[in-house]
Amino acid sequence: MSDISKKISEASQVLIKGGVVIFPTETVYGIGANAFQRDAVEKIYRIKGRPSDNPLIIHLADIQQIQNYASAEEHLDRLQDLMPGPVTAIFPKSEAGKEIDTANLQSIAVRIPASKTALALLQECRLPIGAPSVNLSGKPSLTRIEDIELEFANKVDCILPEFYKNDNIGIESTVISFLEEKPVIVRPGFYDRTFLQKYWPEIIYSDFSSRSHAPISPGQKYRHYAPECDVVITNVLPDIISESEASLGFSIPAGKGYKIFISNNREYMQKLYAFLVDCDKLKLKKAYLQKPLEDGFSAGILDRIQKASQR
């Protein structure tokens, strides 16, 4: 058995025994537990300080497991073109799915990650793994293993790094609900509406805006992705920033502040969360985020930076 296989097997045993494992995906890292064990799932909520009505995405090894836990027959052929990949689908639970803890919802959000490490873990344990992104609730998601170890090393039972070359996306999956007559994008991500219309021409964006309703997906109801500093979204970055300020965008302002240059929206997604985390590490007071370029990735980026700017 190789060292990688041994570490994946050890992480699998942690999950089987009710422990909590941090593992990589192609979007961001996840913090996961056996979704059949309520006590294990509750550990994730306590570790993150996550509101109890904010559901987890259930990570699965293959399409067959989706069939086992969700009433998804009508859409499986099309989903097979997108999974494994950065998309989550919400369906009514099947009878077997009713045994899975999903914040008291009758629906289940399922995804097959594309990360080879994540898939190896899921195939090894053959469990549905409930997993939100790795962060303290409301804070930016963590995408660098050194940040994860610093924050969570003494809070979880196992941390798996990405063992294989991974085309890191950097923001969470696109979430599509199939609970209504038309498919609804309830959280934008790597895939936007224009791309998804190739599979579901009738697909629409969610108009969910009420904080009084129970969310059916992560990213709907609560403050997300926000650093301690003020976040300002701007069309053009200011000419000069001070030592207590930072900027991320398609130009480099003058001044002594912390500055990250990006050349396209793929880089924006990959660098956004680490930039926000660094702003907190540096104890900065203000971060300027330039609006993304108009393309298929802009909706997912705008969703994240708008939430990061909310107080």
What confidence score (pLDDT) does residue 223 get? 64
**Cα gap 49→64, rounded to integer Å:** 33
Estimate to the nearest angstrom the gap between the alpha carbon of 123 and the chain centroid.
21
Q: Is the pLDDT of residue 106 over 80?
A: yes
**Cα gap 262→249, rounded to integer Å:** 6
| Look-up of token digits 């929206």 | 265
Helix (H, G, I), strand (E, B) or coil at 146: helix
What confidence score (pLDDT) does residue 101 get? 83
pLDDT level of residue 180 (50, 70, 90 thresholds): very high
Q: Average the pLDDT over 90-110 and give the result.
A: 94
Note the pLDDT tens digit of each residue in 17-71. 999 999 999 999 999 999 999 999 999 999 999 988 889 999 999 999 999 999 9
pLDDT level of residue 311 (50, 70, 90 thresholds): confident
Cis peptide before 128 (omega within 30 of 0): no
Residues present in the chain in total: 311
Higher pLDDT, 171 or 213: 171
Structural tokens at position 178: 């199939």
What confidence score (pLDDT) does residue 21 get? 98
Higher pLDDT, 98 or 213: 98
Q: Which CATH number fits the domain 3-205, given the four candidates 3.50.50.60, 3.40.50.970, 2.20.25.240, 3.90.870.10?
A: 3.90.870.10
pLDDT level of residue 208 (50, 70, 90 thresholds): low
pLDDT level of residue 159 (50, 70, 90 thresholds): very high
Contact 87, 174 (CB under 8 A): yes
**Cα gap 257→248, rounded to integer Å:** 11
**Cα gap 8→118, rounded to integer Å:** 9
Which range is least confidently modeled, 6-10, 107-111, 161-165, 285-289? 161-165
Q: Is the pLDDT of residue 135 over 50?
A: yes
Structural tokens at position 272: 């956004």
pLDDT level of residue 210 (50, 70, 90 thresholds): very low
Contact 311, 286 (CB under 8 A): no
Q: Is the pLDDT of residue 211 over 50?
A: no
- To the nearest whole percent, how much of the chain has pLDDT over 90? 86
Q: Average the pLDDT over 209-238 and give the result.
A: 76
Note the pLDDT tens digit of each residue in 233-292. 999 999 989 999 999 999 999 989 999 999 999 999 999 999 999 999 999 999 999 999
**Cα gap 188→167, rounded to integer Å:** 19
Q: Is the pLDDT of residue 218 over 80?
A: no
Residues 6+ apart with CB under 8 A from 292: 265, 268, 298, 301, 302, 305
pLDDT level of residue 212 (50, 70, 90 thresholds): very low
**Cα gap 110→63, rounded to integer Å:** 10
What confidence score (pLDDT) does residue 166 get? 74
Residue 247 forms beta bridges with which residues? 259, 288
pLDDT level of residue 168 (50, 70, 90 thresholds): confident
Q: What is the mean pLDDT of the chain?
A: 93
What confidence score (pLDDT) does residue 165 get? 79
User: So where are the chain's domains?
Assistant: 3-205, 230-308
Residues 6+ apart with CB under 8 A from 84: 112, 113, 114, 119
Q: Give 191-195 contacts, CB < 8 A, sequence gap 24+.
A: 191/82, 191/86, 191/87, 191/296, 192/296, 192/297, 192/298, 192/299, 192/300, 193/299, 194/296, 195/296
> pTM score, two decimals?
0.94
